[in-house]
Each structure stands twice: as C-alpha cells, then as structure tokens.
Amino acid sequence: MNDLYRMAGHLIRRLNQISISVFTEKMKDAGFDLTPVQFGALAALQTHPDVDQATLAGLIAHDRVTMGAVLDRLQNKGLVERKISPRDRRARVISLTDQGKQVLETVTPIVWALQDEILTGLNPQEQTELLRLMRKAADAGNARSRAPLQSPQQK
C-alpha cells in the first residue's frame, strides 16, 4: 500500500481533487457559481471567439458530450451565446456575452491567485519546475488522452 502514495496516477488524482476544492471555495467566496471546466471554456472563448462546440472541446481537452452540458449551463447563466455559423448553417458557433466577458474579467485574477494555494508547500522555483514537468508529460501523452488538447490549427 505504501507504494500507492508514490504513484503518479494517485498523486495526480489527489492534486486534481485539491485543485477543484480550492477553485470551488474561492469562486464561492467571490460569489460565483463557476467550475474549473466552465472557466476554461470561458477563457478559451475569450481567445478564440465564434468557434464550434467540437473546436472548443479540443481547445480545453474535454470530450464533446461534456462540453455540450458545460455550454448549456454557461448559456443558462447568460455567459455564452450560440449562433448559427455563417459558414455552415447546420453548425452553431459560441461566443461570450457581455456578462460572460465581465465575469471572466472579474474571476481571472482570482484564478491566478489561487494557483499558489493549489501548490502549497512548494516554493516558487519548485512550482515553476513542477509546472514545466507536468506540461512536458501532458504534451508527450496528449495523443493517448480520450480528449486530446488541440490547437485551432489542428481542426
């Protein structure tokens, strides 16, 4: 059993639990009902407005089915809107509403501030090194993911 506590998968799961817990607490304290995935979708839409659901899912490495439910919630909150694509009338493009832009502007500094809390116990150099190694491992294993990260150019 002691070996479990040194396994990458176990530690990654635990850090994910910590990350979600800290994120949820900070959003609640700030008066927002927002999940990490919802924040990721909003942030991606800020950089890549008017993308379709499949492209958005790839931009934040989430599966399309989950992305549909995330977008439903964001639309119900008035943070995103779906419009008919000018290129394909069967497709919908998603963009931030003015309210979505305001929420994102307000919560982004909060999200950046909570990053240190997620990695509590590590000094700034250790945090930088851990993030570098996590990016390296995630990039190397991207193709093995059930929802790989995709850049807009890959679509």
Q: What is the pLDDT of residues 76-124, one digit of tens each?
A: 999 999 998 888 888 889 999 999 999 999 999 999 999 999 999 999 9
Residue labelled with tokens 């995103």: 80
pTM of the model as a whole: 0.90
- Which pLDDT tens digit goes with each residue over 21-79? 999 999 999 999 999 999 999 999 999 999 999 999 999 999 988 999 999 999 999 99
Domain boundaries, the chain: 4-140
- Which pLDDT tens digit goes with each residue over 114-153? 999 999 999 999 999 999 999 999 999 999 998 999 977 6
Higher per-residue confidence, 3 vs 107: 107
pLDDT of 142 reads 93
54: exposed, middle or buried (C-beta count within 10 Å: 0-12, 13-18, 19+)? middle
pLDDT of 104 reads 98
pLDDT of 155 reads 46
Q: How confident is the model at residue 1 (pLDDT cuts 50, 70, 90)?
A: low
Q: How confident is the model at residue 2 (pLDDT cuts 50, 70, 90)?
A: confident
List alpha helices for the chain, DSSP H: 8-29, 36-47, 53-59, 64-76, 98-118, 124-141
CATH of 4-140, one of 3.40.50.2300, 3.30.70.100, 3.20.20.70, 1.10.10.10: 1.10.10.10
Q: Is 94 helix (H, G, I), strand (E, B) or coil?
A: strand
